[in-house]
Amino acid sequence: MSITTLDKHTLQLIRNQINEVLEGSIEGIEFSAGNCSYSGNIATFKLEVKIAGAESKEMQDLRRYASIYNIDLDKTHPVYTLVGYLPRSSKYPFLVKKAGADGTYKIGEDMAKRYFGKDVA
């Protein structure tokens, strides 16, 4: 297969191959090829490198900001799991993962408080 131009579909295939090749290449390190910018015949991927089992930046931010929003990190929801916080996102700063689905979803402060807010005594 000869690639002549870079488009969204081709770069998604390349990202998947990069992730497969890097998976397990260095013991104790996790790699993830992320966002990509491209133009014609040049592409640049963001590569995230973290220690295996380490908490993500979004989860660290969630722990930092949970008390400000009165969020209970131990509270569970039957469908959603709170997995992160995006401090630069004003409309939908909370990240949740839906049971049985891939990826994460963004939710607003009101929904986060409804599902994971601390109970008022």
Residues of the chain short of pLDDT 50, as ranges, are: none
What is the model's pTM? 0.70
Evaluate whether 30 touches 49 at the Cβ level (below 8 Å): yes
pLDDT of residue 40: 80
Q: Is 93 left (phi over 0), alpha (psi -120 to 50) or beta?
A: alpha
pLDDT of residue 119: 78
